[in-house]
Structure 1
Amino acid sequence: MLKIYKSLETGPLQELSLKTLESGAWINIVDPTPYELKVVGNLTEVEPDFLRSALDDEERSHIDIEDDSVMILTNVPVVRDEGSYDTLPLAIIVTEEYIITVCLEETPVLSYFNEKSARFFRTFKKTRFLFQILYRSATFYLRYLRQISKQSDEIESKLRHSMKNREILKLLELQKALTFFNASLRSNGAVLEKLMRLRTTTSMQPMLKYYEEDEDLLEDVIIENKQAREMVEMYSKILARLADTFSSIMSNNLNQVMKFLAAVTILLAIPTVISSFFGMNVPVPMAENSNGFFFICVLAGSLAAFCGLLLWRRDMF
């Protein structure tokens, strides 16, 4: 999917096409075809590798600089089915005339920049628009981390009453999501620090022009990213300890069940042994006594009760 927008001076977004492409436009490419990449590359004279960089879902965040363009590849958070979380690479390419975004999927980070929010950004202010995209990505990390925290509290509440495999597997999904977030936020942080250093590089002026407001916005992005990293580390420790705690509880519960079953087996073995002795096909005591069966049952029950009392005093029940 290929969409082209340009902010008007009055605020609203104007949708363009490849034939009416103007300077200051934002070219948004989602899950592109080879034809779309070729056409955009020819029109904007951007390196083909820049346009294809975000198509590898394992690509880490980094910055590539050419003479007439700079590519910032960052990882943005996404929500999968059933509340699972992941990250996707997003390539933001800034040239002297255009800003281009390339991603494998439609993400909430880019979906935020539409006609309804057009008054908050300008596509022709490329540096500020770049930082606004990065800031929106950091805020979505924080939003999803709060959701993960809420889900972990719900899982903990459910596990206190019933330890089902479904809840434990969901806990594992959250731990995996935090691992993805941690790796992405660390690499994003390195990219943000490099962008801060590049503000004094004169060769970057044609593509990235830093104004005072832009530097303040970049600092806000760095702060939000650090806050997200701290939250990831804290929630990772909480989930790890939660998993260890409930693993210990499950092992203890299993031990309790096995101890109870062992005690029951001992109690059942006593009447079984006694009945086996008196069931032999040989002369046995009380064989001719009409009340022999009653006496044998009383004997077996008394011994079982005595052993049960001993086991109870030893906390086997």
Structure 2
Amino acid sequence: MLKIYKSMESGPLKELNLRTLEKGAWINIVAPTPYELKVVGNLTEVEPDFLRSALDNEERSHTDIEDNSIMVLTNVPVMRTFESYDTLPLAIILTPDYIITVCLEDTPVISDFNERTYRSFRTFKKTRFLFQILYKSVTYYLKYLRQIDKLSDEIESRLRDSTQNKEILRLLELQKGLTYFNASLRSNGAVLDKLMRLRSNYNLQNIIKLYEEDEDLLEDVIIENKQAREMVEMYSTILARLVDTFSSIMSNNLNLVMRFLTAITILLAIPTVISSFFGMNVEGFPAFSSGPFAFIDICVISIALSVICATVLWRKNMF
């Protein structure tokens, strides 16, 4: 999918196409076809590798600079399900005339820049627009981290009442999402630091023009990214300890059940052994075994020994 927009001095966004492409336009490419990449590359004179860089799902964040373009590859968060989170590479390419975004999927980070929010950004202010996209990405990281925190609290309260494997697996899924977030935020932080250093590169003034407001916005992005990293590390530690704790609780509960069943087995073995002795058809058994109250006597002996054994086991905390 390929969409082209351009901000007007007054009024909503103007939607363009490849034939009516104008300077200052934003070219948004989602899940592109080879034909779309070829056409956009020819029209904008952007390196084909820049356009294909975001098509590798495992690509890490980095920055590449060519003679007439800068490519900023960042990882943006995505929510697969309410409990499953992932990251996707997003390529933001700046040229003297255009800003281009390439991604494998339509993410909220990009879709939030639309006809309804056109007043908050300008496509021809490419540097500021770049920083606004990066800031939007960090805000979604923080939003999803708060959701993960609420989910972990909910799962913890359920585990206090019933330790089920399903809840442990939910925690592991959240922990996997935090691992993706941690790796992406670290590499994104390196990209932001490099962008901060590029502001003093005079050779790139025709592509990146930093004004005071832009520098303030970039500093805000760096601060929010550091906060997101700290939150990820804290939540990861909490979830890891939570999983270990409840895994230990489940193992302890299993030990308690096994200990209880062992005690019951011992108690049941006593009358079984006694009845087996008196059920043997051999000479030499006590005389009362053939008396009128023999069955009652055997039951009394079995119960008495079982009570004595139960008392000993209870004192040893076997129940």
Q: Which category describes the TM-score, using the shorter chain as reference length?
A: over 0.9
**Correspondence list, 1:228-247, <5 A:** 228-247=228-247
Question: Mean Cα displacement is larger for which, 239-248 or 29-38?
Answer: 239-248
**Distance across 1 between alignment mates of 2:26 and 2:164:** 49
Partner of residue 119, structure 2:
119
2:61, 2:73 within 8 Å by CA — same for their partners in 1?
yes
- For structure 1, the 5+ residue unaligned runs are none
TM-score, normalised relative to structure 1? 0.99
Partner of residue 310, structure 1:
312
Q: The residue matched to 1:19 in structure 2 has which SS? A: coil
| 1:167-194 per-position Cα deviation (integer Å, ceiling 9, x unaligned) | 1101000110010000000000000000
Q: The residue matched to 1:29 in structure 2 has which SS? A: strand
Displacement of 1:247: 1.4
Partner of residue 156, structure 1:
156
**Correspondence list, 1:265-304, <5 A:** 265-283=265-283, 284-285=285-286, 286-304=288-306
Partner of residue 27, structure 2:
27
**Distance across 2 between alignment mates of 1:311 and 1:256:** 14
2:90, 2:102 within 8 Å by CA — same for their partners in 1?
yes
**Correspondence list, 1:246-257, <5 A:** 246-257=246-257
Question: Mean Cα displacement is larger for which, 109-118 or 80-89?
Answer: 80-89
| 1:31-87 per-position Cα deviation (integer Å, ceiling 9, x unaligned) | 000000001001101000000000000000000000000000000000003420000
| Residue 63 of structure 2 corresponds to residue 63 of structure 1 | yes
Question: Mean Cα displacement is larger for which, 212-221 or 7-16?
Answer: 7-16
Partner of residue 213, structure 1:
213
**Distance across 1 between alignment mates of 2:143 and 2:11:** 27
Displacement of 1:288: 2.2
2:7, 2:13 within 8 Å by CA — same for their partners in 1?
yes
| Residue 172 of structure 2 corresponds to residue 172 of structure 1 | yes
Q: The residue matched to 2:119 in structure 1 has which SS? A: helix
| 1:123-151 per-position Cα deviation (integer Å, ceiling 9, x unaligned) | 00000000000000000000000000000
2:83, 2:170 within 8 Å by CA — same for their partners in 1?
no
| 1:202-251 per-position Cα deviation (integer Å, ceiling 9, x unaligned) | 11111110000000000000000000000000101111111111111112
Displacement of 1:11: 4.3
Partner of residue 13, structure 2:
13
**Distance across 2 between alignment mates of 1:194 and 1:176:** 28
Partner of residue 203, structure 2:
203
1:30, 1:103 within 8 Å by CA — same for their partners in 2?
yes
Displacement of 1:166: 1.1
Partner of residue 142, structure 1:
142
**Distance across 2 between alignment mates of 1:132 and 1:214:** 9
* Count of residue pairs brought into register by the alignment: 317
1:11, 1:122 within 8 Å by CA — same for their partners in 2?
no
Q: The residue matched to 1:250 in structure 2 has which SS? A: helix
Q: The residue matched to 1:97 in structure 2 has which SS? A: coil
| Residue 278 of structure 2 corresponds to residue 263 of structure 1 | no
Structure 1 pair 314–238 and aligned structure 2 pair: CA distance change class (3 A): same
One-letter amino acid of the counterpart of residue 290, structure 1: P
One-letter amino acid of the counterpart of residue 307, structure 2: A
Question: Mean Cα displacement is larger for which, 281-290 or 110-119?
Answer: 281-290
1:78, 1:86 within 8 Å by CA — same for their partners in 2?
yes
Q: The residue matched to 1:281 in structure 2 has which SS? A: coil
TM-score, normalised relative to structure 2? 0.98
Q: The residue matched to 2:290 in structure 1 has which SS? A: coil
Partner of residue 94, structure 2:
94
Displaced runs of 4+ in structure 1, greater than 3 A? none
**Distance across 2 between alignment mates of 1:43 and 1:58:** 28
**Distance across 1 between alignment mates of 2:278 and 2:11:** 100
